[in-house]
Amino acid sequence: MEKKHFFDKPGNLKKFLKVFFASLIVLIVIDLFVPKHPYFAIGGYPSFYATFGFVACVVLVLAARYILRPLVKRKEDYYD
């Protein structure tokens, strides 16, 4: 018999997602009230580093797909 995991039940996944998104909202609200001492002025904006990280991740994925993939991809009959 196959072992059951936590996320095999749809109810557990829904509970996990609710807790996950609730924690995200709590962290964003906390970010608004925690004093910051940024080195650059742009670092003081609310959720700047989260937004910057998300945009950087999207740019890296797009660069890997459209710039790097054509450079390293081989033709289908390369080994024939």
pLDDT value, residue 8: 86
Give a yes or no: residue 25 inside a domain. yes
pLDDT at residue 80 greater than cutoff 80: no
Asked if the structure places residue 30 within a domain, the reply is yes
Residue 44 placed within a domain: no
CA atoms of 23 and 46, how far apart (whole Å): 16
Is residue 68 pLDDT above 80, yes or no? yes
CA-CA distance, 38 to 29, in Å (whole number)?
Answer: 18
Span 10-46, pLDDT tens digits: 899 999 999 999 999 998 888 888 888 889 898 888 8
Give the count of domains, the chain.
1
- HSE at residue 68, side-chain half, CA atoms within 13 A, is 7
